[in-house]
């Protein structure tokens, strides 16, 4: 006999439904083969890709797309590397033309050193792309008010950073993340800063709807083992969130019965 | 242009050239062409 646990709901992003709540990037892998195998072990259903100029006179060779099973993975193009709204909007339009998808992971960055998002242009680009019919998944800092503005602007999902992109510092401000989640009317996907599997669990236990990561897997000493670890961590964190945490107590509460302990006084017999 | 494989998009003078229009697109001497493709990214 096996115990029954109710099935989790799908994560819905516009017209797309996902059973896996783990999103993986496709950058920084030592080889395309390693990327392909890591994606498979992670069990993700959606992977991010970037848009770049085609170099002139590029020699024929292996193609990135040859290693991505597009029947298996939804491709989520990003606007990584864009530092103003205009560049991001242009990149999003090219991505839609290329992939025939409304999905876009919108990133408008503020500076090269921190890669933190530029809030004004991020909001402006969100408004424009939503008007143009894009399904906008927008990268932002963990600023509570900015997350609210982006959701009000029509973003399909808001993606607060746990910490700066590629830093591996984990979830630096769980309080802000909780506040963002509390006011959310759209899915919240934690994006950026994940360094290890436990960071994924923390985000999911807080109630995030999903987690997107890249470097934690690609730059691990053993990317394949880390891919499996983040997958398990995502499921564990989600189950822990859905299960509901026990209340914290100031004092101890014994798990074993307090009666009948050897060496404790015998109960007094009735009528003695 | 027709020879380009799937997985690219093309801008001509700042305007996207739709894939179905590629066969009819006639290049002019001073055209500025931008070709982009997918690469790995996070």
Q: Contact A78/B11, CB-based, under 8 Å?
A: no
Chain B, nearest residue to A70 by Cα = B7
DSSP alpha helix (H) spans, A163-222: 174-183, 197-206, 215-218
3-state secondary structure of A241: helix
Q: Is A26 on the interface with B (CB under 8 A)?
A: yes
Share of chain B above pLDDT 70, in %: 86
- Shortest Cα–Cα distance, B20 to chain A (Å): 11
A88 Cβ partners below 8 Å, 6+ apart? A79, A82, A106, A107, A108, A121, A125
Closest Cα to residue A18, out of A223, A156, A185, A170? A156
**Of A28, A105, A148, A248, which residue is the catalytic one?**
A105
pLDDT attached to residue A190 = 97
pLDDT attached to residue A272 = 56
Q: In DSSP terms, which residues pair with B37 in a beta bridge?
A: A52, B8
| Domain definitions of chain A by residue range | 11-243
Q: Contact A78/B41, CB-based, under 8 Å?
A: yes
pLDDT attached to residue A65 = 85
Share of chain B above pLDDT 90, in %: 29
- Shortest Cα–Cα distance, B17 to chain A (Å): 9
Question: Token pair for residue A107?
Answer: 């990133």
What is the CATH number that goes with domain A11-243?
3.20.20.70
Question: Token pair for residue A172?
Answer: 């630096």
3-state secondary structure of A269: coil
**Would the pLDDT of B2 be above 50?**
no
Chain B, nearest residue to A46 by Cα = B42
- What's the average pLDDT block by block, 10 residues per block, for chain A (272 residues)? 86 97 96 96 97 76 83 96 96 93 97 94 98 98 97 98 94 97 97 96 98 97 98 98 95 91 75 60
Q: Is A36 on the interface with B (CB under 8 A)?
A: no
ipTM of the complex, rounded to two decimals: 0.83
**Would the pLDDT of B27 be above 50?**
yes
Residues A242 and A29: their CA atoms lie apart, in Å, by: 33
Task: Tell which of A25, A30, A94 to mutate to test the B interface (max B CBs under 10 Å).
Answer: A94
Considering only residues 140 to 169 of chain A, which have any Cβ-Cβ distance to chain B shorter than 8 Å?
165-166
Question: Token pair for residue A239?
Answer: 């189950």
Closest Cα to residue A144, out of A122, A130, A160, A164? A160
Q: Is B25 on the interface with A (CB under 8 A)?
A: no
Please give the span between the terminal C-alpha atoms of chain B, in angstroms, as a whole number: 29
| Contact (CB, 8 A) for A242 and A210 | no
φ, ψ of residue B35 in degrees (nearest 5): -120, 125
Other CB atoms within 10 Å distance of the CB of residue A129: 26
Provide DSSP, A19-58: S--EEEE--S-S-HHHHHHHHHHHT-SEEEEEEEEPPTTP
Instruction: Tell me if residue A248 is catalytic.
Output: no
A111 Cβ partners below 8 Å, 6+ apart? A83
Chain B, nearest residue to A96 by Cα = B9
pLDDT attached to residue A267 = 66
3-state secondary structure of A272: coil
| Contact (CB, 8 A) for A122 and A150 | yes
Other CB atoms within 10 Å distance of the CB of residue B1: 15
**Would the pLDDT of B12 be above 50?**
yes
pLDDT attached to residue A259 = 87
pLDDT attached to residue B3 = 38
């Amino acid at each position: 006999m096996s115990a029954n646990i109710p099935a989790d709901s799908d994560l819905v992003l516009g017209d797309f439904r996902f059973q896996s709540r783990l999103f993986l990037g496709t950058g920084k892998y030592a080889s395309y083969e390693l990327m392909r195998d890591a994606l498979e072990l992670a069990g993700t259903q959606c992977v991010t890709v970037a848009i770049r100029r085609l170099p002139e006179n590029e020699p024929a060779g292996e193609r990135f797309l040859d290693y991505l099973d597009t029947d298996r993975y939804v491709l989520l193009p990003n606007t990584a590397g864009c530092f103003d709204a205009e560049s991001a909007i242009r990149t999003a339009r090219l991505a839609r033309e290329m992939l025939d998808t409304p999905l876009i992971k919108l990133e408008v960055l503020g500076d090269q050193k921190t890669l933190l998002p530029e809030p004004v242009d991020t909001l402006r680009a969100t408004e424009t792309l939503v008007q143009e019919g894009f399904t906008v998944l927008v990268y932002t800092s963990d600023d509570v008010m900015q997350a609210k503005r982006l959701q009000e602007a029509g973003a399909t999902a808001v993606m607060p950073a746990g910490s700066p992109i590629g830093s591996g510092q984990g979830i630096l401000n769980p309080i802000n993340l909780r506040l963002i989640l509390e006011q959310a009317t759209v899915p919240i996907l934690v994006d950026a800063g994940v360094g290890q599997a436990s960071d994924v669990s923390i985000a999911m236990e807080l109630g995030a709807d999903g987690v997107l990561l890249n470097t934690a897997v690609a730059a691990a000493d053993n990317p394949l083992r880390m891919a499996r670890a983040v997958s398990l961590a995502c499921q564990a964190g989600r189950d822990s969130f859905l299960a509901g945490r026990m209340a914290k107590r100031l004092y101890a509460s014994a798990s074993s019965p307090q009666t009948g302990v050897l060496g404790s006084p015998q109960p007094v017999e009735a009528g003695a | 242009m027709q020879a380009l494989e799937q997985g690219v998009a093309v801008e001509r003078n700042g305007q996207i050239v739709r894939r179905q229009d590629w066969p009819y697109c006639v290049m002019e001497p001073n055209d500025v062409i931008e070709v982009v493709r997918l690469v790995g990214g996070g």
